[in-house]
Structure 1
């Protein structure tokens, strides 16, 4: 029985109107209810199938097998057909993959190997004919040219019949045969002069490139690029004037970049860049003379501008994000251009040869302008392009320092740049720039401690040694200050760093303090080593009024080093307690332990009675004072146990 929605009176399925309130009753036919139940079951079945398909897609994307869900395993028997279909589909996919590998070998690799075999076969046939004098020299070249043209025509015919890969092999083999035939005509038989042969090879390159564009074939285009750049070497670079060679390379680059721009073939641009500078360097080291300096510099700059703007065209005109091929072209173009100009400038007697760093800093400024311009135009839309220009800016700025600065000034330049890079990395949120700056700071520290250790340590001018702020001590002070600034940046921008970098600030402070302590130690050692040498005894007599005994100077030096270490550690302990900096206190304790070992192992045997007494008394006082401070502030220190 059912209930009337208006009067709440019960009625059976035969009523169409409520007999009590005359309300129209909605009657659902039994067949409609049956259809509704069927639809519910079908919807549940479809949901299970969709879930199963999602699992299969995920397994395909991640290239791994995953177990089916419990719901999928508990599907009704009618879903077994779905499983069987998927198993068949999987087998079919594996078959297609096997067929794809088989097809790839049969269609592509056999085609390329076949084209190579035809080229070798033609060469062996011609050599056999030459050895047996079947045909004269002109006929030999004509036969090679005819074979090349026939293969190109056959390739064109095969392309029209939709045999693209087969046609690529024929055209490549045909163009290679033409190259070899012209090469033989020029170098072996002297049938054709150098310049006409060069022109004919350039025409073959242009002809093959036309087919590459027409067939939309990157493989044929790459072959054309390689053939085009090898043409001058087929003829002999020395027989071509430098201006003609550079003009030819320029026209070849323009053509390649034009095709690569419209076809979006980034690898063609990369290949053209590599071959352009390779051709230049081969010519430079074999045929360059100073009379071609202006022309060489002009064409190098044209090549540089040409490869520099290609990524900008992609970005600004076609609104494309810079890809890895474009980034490689930008970075390698800058490096090759600098290397080429460096060799040009160092061999020329002018201000740039004496100061090659001027050129590198100009390049650094140029790339900084590029980075700023691209950033203002695109913002963060093409971050890779901006970072590429910034990387070159930093690279050439770094190169400038070893070119212009010497000895410790180079170290100061490195640490200064490291601070700037670290700040720039935090400001731009670029991990790469930040890591590069940190690595540069590490190199500056390494160079200072291990490479600059003996620079200006023993000055011939004793008055310079008496000056505390000499070149040596300024180096340690500057590097220490630079590392402190780096630590400050890590502390200030701690919310912008990864979890594994959170202790970098502490480590940097420790390194800075160690560098400063080394500076004090080496300054004391250099001072006493200088005035104790035989060359300075008389000069020391003028300052002190009497000849100073070397043993006495050694006692004073060892005592001074121990005293400085103890005072330094005491200051660190005080700061560690006041600033609640646990790492500072631990470093101070390590320095105290090292001082104790020095006093008991070195000072006790080398110092005389008076200085030995002073050394032990000083050590005892500092240790007692340290113990007193730890006793007095024990509650505060124990509460800071987990501090910085």
Structure 2
């Protein structure tokens, strides 16, 4: 039996080694030779050099022919004859070297077919061949294992030896110019090592989970070192995938949060260092995606309130880790890449979702504080980008500034409610518009306009209760928004001439919105006030409508006077529009529905004010004519 076991062992070794020895023999006998694509440029350069030499040889013959006196011309001609004679000797090499040029063109015309051929034969067949060899060895080993030809220890030892041998063999292939084949062999060796370690722990219980985990970490570190040594981004990607598959491979289904997240932090930090050293931009986003998959997978399976502090700390560390790469690149010369922008936005969204999932609604103060800290950190990054010498309007600075403002804005509804949210939006919007004009950053101004529009939306569609006349939160919110709009208009005066037409139009609408909001706020106050007065049902409604008519006429009159004093056509036109609204209401509603007494008061007040307005306009026109 011992002799049979020895024979089986040698048979396994022969089966595993024969493909490797065959490939080595083929590579030694068929060393890569320069292809036609490589020779064509060299032949073309040689032809060009030969032509140049021929031109240089023919140049000295021309000056002597021009300087020979006429009597001696017949004698000078034989003397100058040798140089032209040399030209025919120089021409044949150029003519002889010309054929490579059509050949090179022919090669270029067929380059796409050759590239496809190289892709299929050199890369795809390599990957398929590796898979076939792996399957054949797996089938043989499975057959040997099922028949107990090889014990568990021998099986794992064979896998570890084979996987370990693949790495130096891939280096040997790389030295001989087979880079893609070398990377495939390295990946195959890594896969065999991972599978062997997993089987040794999970199936055969030859070593503990800790030993398997540590060994897999060693394999990941080894592959990372190989990637750096060979300057291969594909091997680095294989190392990354192996590193993130390790926790899944050695998982026992138990909650091991500290070990898992610490490992992910170390792995992510290593990939960050490699990506920065080699400028391999895609490693960090891929690492971020795997980290988020593990984080939320653990959260759905094991999170409980007793893990709150530790989980929030790990989420913050993940945010800092994956912010480091884009921040470092943003502070250096040049702009951000597309994947950097996606990583910044994805990372910010991930931390916000994590904080919301764990802190809302029981820890609103803590969540507000965390969001404000994140906003302050992003503002610090914005300032650092400016200090690094980049323009104030650079894409990186605007991106981080926009995120900082978004975080600060989100902190308001997180902590505050109702009326305070609306007022905070108005105040922050005015500050952003003012800051945008001061710093000449249009993005800040647009953010401010958006916040003030959001405040107006909340006032119109989410009304605030007003239990008292004028002295209530609803009227205060309208006043704060109107003041914020007026403040933004005042800030725009200094740079009005430098603004484009679109922004000027938006600011003009803000000027109209100020009076519209004030009229609406006062109308709601008077309507609500008369609704609260103890009256008969019909008398209450009649009083409300009469109050609206009087209010609109009074406000329009005051607005018209201010427009005349300030010589502002915009204010005067707003007053006339409000007069038109009051006249329409008087003739179409008051005349038909108001009681006789209220109708008399309404039309008397309306007529008196309109006559006064007409008088003031006629007086204004007369003064202008007299001045002319």
TM-score calculated relative to the size of structure 2: 0.72
Deviates more, 1:160-169 or 1:427-436: 160-169
In the other structure, the counterpart of 1:482 is 484
Deviates more, 1:152-161 or 1:246-255: 152-161
The answer to whether the aligner puts 1:594 opposite 2:603 as a matched pair is no
Cα shift readout 1:48-106 (whole Å, capped 9, x = no counterpart): xxxxxxxxxxxxxxxxxxxxxxxxxxxxxxxxxxxxxxxx99x969x859835862684
Matches within 5 A, 1:424-463: 424-451=435-462, 453=463, 455-457=464-466, 459=467
After superposition, the Cα gap between the structure-2 partners of 1:504 and 1:605, relative to the gap in structure 1 and judged at 3 Å, is: same
Provide the C-alpha distance between the structure 2 equivalents of 1:261 and 1:574, rounded to a whole number of angstroms. Answer: 67
SS of the equivalent of 1:503 reads helix
CA contact (8 A) 1:355 1:403 kept: no
In the other structure, the counterpart of 2:508 is 506
After superposition, the Cα gap between the structure-2 partners of 1:167 and 1:625, relative to the gap in structure 1 and judged at 3 Å, is: farther
The answer to whether the aligner puts 1:401 opposite 2:403 as a matched pair is no
Deviates more, 1:424-433 or 1:514-523: 424-433
Deviates more, 1:209-218 or 1:164-173: 164-173
Cα shift readout 1:266-302 (whole Å, capped 9, x = no counterpart): 3322332333343223223322345544544444444
* C-alpha RMSD of matched pairs (Å): 3.9
In the other structure, the counterpart of 2:260 is 245
Cα shift readout 1:528-587 (whole Å, capped 9, x = no counterpart): 3334xxxxx5xxxxxxxxxx2121111110111122122222333333344343333333
**Alignment partner of 1:613 out of 583, 592, 600:** 600
Matches within 5 A, 1:243-642: 243-311=258-326, 313-314=328-329, 322-346=336-360, 352-378=363-389, 380=391, 383-451=394-462, 453=463, 455-457=464-466, 459=467, 465-466=468-469, 468-531=470-533, 537=534, 548-633=535-620
CA contact (8 A) 1:364 1:396 kept: yes
CA contact (8 A) 2:364 2:415 kept: no
The answer to whether the aligner puts 1:107 opposite 2:119 as a matched pair is yes
Provide the C-alpha distance between the structure 2 equivalents of 1:596 and 1:176, rounded to a whole number of angstroms. Answer: 85
SS of the equivalent of 2:282 reads helix
Provide the C-alpha distance between the structure 2 equivalents of 1:114 and 1:619, rounded to a whole number of angstroms. Answer: 93
TM-score calculated relative to the size of structure 1: 0.70
The answer to whether the aligner puts 1:160 opposite 2:175 as a matched pair is yes
Deviation at 1:405, TM superposition (A): 1.0
Deviates more, 1:266-275 or 1:168-177: 168-177
SS of the equivalent of 1:434 reads helix
Cα shift readout 1:145-203 (whole Å, capped 9, x = no counterpart): 56655655554333222232343344334434544554455556666543333233323
Matches within 5 A, 1:122-141: 122=134, 126=138, 134=146, 138=152
CA contact (8 A) 1:322 1:382 kept: no
In the other structure, the counterpart of 1:47 is none
Deviation at 1:480, TM superposition (A): 1.2
SS of the equivalent of 1:171 reads helix
Cα shift readout 1:107-145 (whole Å, capped 9, x = no counterpart): 389836863785488469847985997566947766765
Deviation at 1:388, TM superposition (A): 3.9
After superposition, the Cα gap between the structure-2 partners of 1:104 and 1:439, relative to the gap in structure 1 and judged at 3 Å, is: farther
Provide the C-alpha distance between the structure 2 equivalents of 1:375 and 1:603, rounded to a whole number of angstroms. Answer: 62
Provide the C-alpha distance between the structure 2 equivalents of 1:131 and 1:566, rounded to a whole number of angstroms. Answer: 99
CA contact (8 A) 1:321 1:381 kept: no
Provide the C-alpha distance between the structure 2 equivalents of 1:446 and 1:109, rounded to a whole number of angstroms. Answer: 64
Provide the C-alpha distance between the structure 1 equivalents of 2:207 and 2:223, rounded to a whole number of angstroms. Answer: 21
Deviation at 1:436, TM superposition (A): 1.6
Provide the C-alpha distance between the structure 1 equivalents of 2:300 and 2:123, rounded to a whole number of angstroms. Answer: 39
CA contact (8 A) 1:421 1:436 kept: yes
Provide the C-alpha distance between the structure 2 equivalents of 1:585 and 1:290, rounded to a whole number of angstroms. Answer: 62
Deviates more, 1:134-143 or 1:502-511: 134-143
Matches within 5 A, 1:139-154: 148-149=163-164, 152-154=167-169
After superposition, the Cα gap between the structure-2 partners of 1:162 and 1:476, relative to the gap in structure 1 and judged at 3 Å, is: same
Provide the C-alpha distance between the structure 1 equivalents of 2:117 and 2:488, rounded to a whole number of angstroms. Answer: 57
Q: Which runs of 5+ in 1 are unaligned?
A: 1-28, 33-87, 460-464, 532-536, 538-547, 639-644
Matched residue pairs, number? 525
